[in-house]
Chains A and B, each alone.
Chain A
Amino acid sequence: MSDYTFAYLDEQTKRMIRRAILKGVAIPGYQVPFASREMPMPYGWGTGGVQVTAACLVPEDRLKVIDQGADDTTNAVSIRRFFQRTAGVETTEATAEATVIQTRHRIPETPLTEGQILVYQVPIPEPLRFLEPRETETRKMHELEEYGLMHVKLYEDIARHGQIATSYAYPVKVEGRYVMDPSPIPKFDNPKLGHSPAIQLFGAGREQRIYAIPPYTQVVSLDFEDHPFTPSKAPHDCDLCGAGESYLDEVITDDRGGRMFVCSDTDFCASRRAAGHHGALSAPEPEGVA
């Protein structure tokens, strides 16, 4: 561990990133450029999130890393191990015990609390990117609050699919000013972005942008008056823990159409099962699936 500076990045770099984070917190939803470093992982694997986490960590922190809600997938495991090695911080899988949570594409089901930091990995921070390819122009649009184009995308959704078909990376307006891409979280999670007691930080490594939602900030999902925003999930209960209000993954179990729905948040599901809840496919034994 002593071969590295604490949390891998050198102190000057962390200072630079912290300045970007502070600016981001001061201007909710604004994309702050920062000098993203090469990290020992490929772009698209959370290089932005890792840099933000590295800049936030202190030795007393307890780190949780989730990937699509799960604590045990490759991305989550390797990032967690990375910080175990380079920062020597404690890690945990329990949302409530963590002080810093790095996430890819989910917000934990367990409500966050004051003092927690949620770090998102962001692939493309610019919500207007697929509508307007020119960076100079999108910056100008943010500057002048010209967000009509964002609604054109939603209009196209309704015209083509009869409803707003955007189901993840659903654009939001932060504190009545900046339109922001909440990273590819399902729109089910959008309501949790607003008025959260935790600090939410977004890091995009390849695109070199950091943005933030400070605690208790207003975050509104864009919609039409006659097609209001609706958070959506699979119309099921979790087959393992029976939870009806959590976001579900669909798992194909055989090649004859067998499938089950399980919570995407593994910590939430496991703690519910430990508390004695069970779902349609995990009825008898209390210890359940490992």
Chain B
Amino acid sequence: MTHQPKFLVADQPLFAVEGLTKRYGARIGCADVSFDLFPGEVLGIVGESGSGKSTLLSCLAGHQRPNEGRLSYAGRDVLAMGETERRRLARTDWAFVHQNPRDGLRMGVSAGGNVGERLMAVGARHYGTIRATATDWLGRVEIAADRIDDRPSAFSGGMQQRLQIARNLVTGPRLVFMDEPTGGLDVSVQARLLDLLRNLVRDLGLSAIIVTHDLAVVRLLADRLMVMKDGRVVEQGLTDQVLDDPQHGYTQLLVSSVLQV
């Protein structure tokens, strides 16, 4: 259900999802998910393993085709697009940050080449400019400029994840999908990465959808929160509201399960 009246153009959602359902045979991956994402807004999706978060994200990002539902991006029906257009969208306006940087990076290609790939994919053909942009982005994600010709395999896990982020943001996307961006990193590296992400999201005015099981991540990054269980959304609302005053039993359990140090 869209909540926006059609005449409020300025308040049009950037990304609107309606009744999204993905089934794996008789089993459901996720069922009847609806939400609107507005420009500059960060939506967190939390839930335990197997709750359908990743299925939902891959349907949203176009990696899988949902069985039912509607997706529209900036007023255009994503599911009705041809593959050419959808892939163009995926490498210009959208970005996808994988949990494992190895899935999102080309490990045999230098850091500069990794960052430059999206630029070259959209037609940049000036080596000097590509390299300058890549250097600039490495700086923004706190990777030293002299590492530009090193391969990601020579980087630490945290650096790889930051490189993946740089590679995704270099073309100035408007919508970023993140699948457990801090998974597998130790807490101090996580903290720096979150700090970085928060600044980038604020500075660039990005909209983002972040899937995670880590409530601290959404507390820091997300404006709004969706809690999923067994493929369904059980609760959604403003992040602080959901975390501080959880209404659904499962959300209460989730919030109370976090260890307080």
Q: B-contacting residues of A (Cβ < 8 Å)? A: 131, 144, 146, 148-149, 151-152, 155-156, 158-160, 223-227
Tell whether A152 pairs with B84 under 8 Å between CB atoms, given A224-B125, A225-B125, A225-B126: no
A148 vs B119: C-alpha distance in the bound complex, in angstroms? 8
| B117 closest partner in A (C-beta) | A152
Q: Do residues A144 and B84 form an inter-chain contact, with CB atoms below 8 A?
A: yes
For residue B77, CB closer than 8 A to chain A, the reply is no
A224 vs B148: C-alpha distance in the bound complex, in angstroms? 19
Q: Do residues B117 and A226 form an inter-chain contact, with CB atoms below 8 A?
A: no
A-B contact count (CB 8 A): 53
Q: Do residues A226 and B120 form an inter-chain contact, with CB atoms below 8 A?
A: no
A144 vs B122: C-alpha distance in the bound complex, in angstroms? 13
A158 vs B109: C-alpha distance in the bound complex, in angstroms? 12
| A150 closest partner in B (C-beta) | B120
Q: Do residues A155 and B120 form an inter-chain contact, with CB atoms below 8 A?
A: yes
Min Cβ gap B149→A in Å is: 5
Q: Which B residues are in CB contact (< 8 Å) with A224?
A: 125-127, 130
Q: Which B residues are in CB contact (< 8 Å) with A223?
A: 125
Tell me the B145-185 residues at the A interface (CB within 8 Å). Answer: 148-149
Q: Is the interface of B mostly helix, strand, loop or mixed?
A: helix
Q: Which A residues are in CB contact (< 8 Å) with B112?
A: 155, 159
| A149 closest partner in B (C-beta) | B117
Q: Do residues A151 and B128 form an inter-chain contact, with CB atoms below 8 A?
A: no
Tell whether A155 pairs with B113 under 8 Å between CB atoms, given A160-B149, A226-B126: yes
Which of A149, A156, A160 is the most central at the interface, judged by chain B CB atoms within 10 Å of its CB? A156
For residue B48, CB closer than 8 A to chain A, the reply is no
Which of A144, A156, A159, A160 is the most central at the interface, judged by chain B CB atoms within 10 Å of its CB? A159
Q: Which A residues are in CB contact (< 8 Å) with B117?
A: 148-149, 152
Q: Do residues A152 and B106 form an inter-chain contact, with CB atoms below 8 A?
A: yes
Q: Which A residues are in CB contact (< 8 Å) with B93?
A: none
| A158 closest partner in B (C-beta) | B127
A144 vs B118: C-alpha distance in the bound complex, in angstroms? 15
Q: Do residues A156 and B125 form an inter-chain contact, with CB atoms below 8 A?
A: no
For residue B110, CB closer than 8 A to chain A, the reply is yes
Q: Do residues B127 and A227 form an inter-chain contact, with CB atoms below 8 A?
A: yes
For residue B11, CB closer than 8 A to chain A, the reply is no
Interface size class of B (residues with CB under 8 A): 20 to 34
Which of A155, A223, A225 is the most central at the interface, judged by chain B CB atoms within 10 Å of its CB? A155
| One of B84, B113, B118, B127 near A226 (C-beta < 8 A) | B127
| B86 closest partner in A (C-beta) | A144
Q: Do residues B120 and A148 form an inter-chain contact, with CB atoms below 8 A?
A: yes
Known pairs A155-B130, A159-B112, A159-B113 / 12 extra A-B pairs, C-beta < 8 Å: A144-B83, A146-B121, A148-B91, A148-B120, A152-B109, A152-B116, A152-B120, A155-B116, A155-B120, A155-B127, A160-B149, A226-B127
Min Cβ gap B171→A in Å is: 11
Q: Which B residues are in CB contact (< 8 Å) with A227?
A: 127
Q: Do residues A148 and B121 form an inter-chain contact, with CB atoms below 8 A?
A: yes
Q: Do residues A148 and B87 form an inter-chain contact, with CB atoms below 8 A?
A: no
Min Cβ gap A78→B in Å is: 37
A224 vs B118: C-alpha distance in the bound complex, in angstroms? 15
| A224 closest partner in B (C-beta) | B127
Q: Which B residues are in CB contact (< 8 Å) with A155?
A: 112-113, 116, 120, 127, 130
Q: Do residues A151 and B149 form an inter-chain contact, with CB atoms below 8 A?
A: no
A97 vs B183: C-alpha distance in the bound complex, in angstroms? 68
Q: Which B residues are in CB contact (< 8 Å) with A148?
A: 91, 117-118, 120-122
Q: Do residues A159 and B110 form an inter-chain contact, with CB atoms below 8 A?
A: yes
Would you give 28 A-B contacts (Cβ < 8 Å), ordered by A?
Answer: A131-B106, A144-B83, A144-B84, A148-B91, A148-B117, A148-B118, A148-B120, A149-B117, A149-B120, A149-B121, A152-B109, A152-B117, A152-B120, A155-B113, A155-B116, A155-B120, A155-B127, A155-B130, A159-B110, A159-B112, A159-B113, A159-B131, A159-B149, A224-B125, A224-B126, A225-B127, A226-B127, A226-B128
Q: Which A residues are in CB contact (< 8 Å) with B118?
A: 148
Q: Which B residues are in CB contact (< 8 Å) with A156?
A: 109-110, 113
A160 vs B149: C-alpha distance in the bound complex, in angstroms? 7
Min Cβ gap B73→A in Å is: 19
Q: Which A residues are in CB contact (< 8 Å) with B106?
A: 131, 152
| A222 closest partner in B (C-beta) | B125
A159 vs B130: C-alpha distance in the bound complex, in angstroms? 11
Q: Which A residues are in CB contact (< 8 Å) with B113?
A: 152, 155-156, 159
Tell whether A151 pairs with B84 under 8 Å between CB atoms, given A159-B113, A224-B127, A225-B126: no
Q: Which A residues are in CB contact (< 8 Å) with B109?
A: 152, 156
Q: Which A residues are in CB contact (< 8 Å) with B121?
A: 146, 148-149
Q: Which B residues are in CB contact (< 8 Å) with A159?
A: 110, 112-113, 131, 148-149
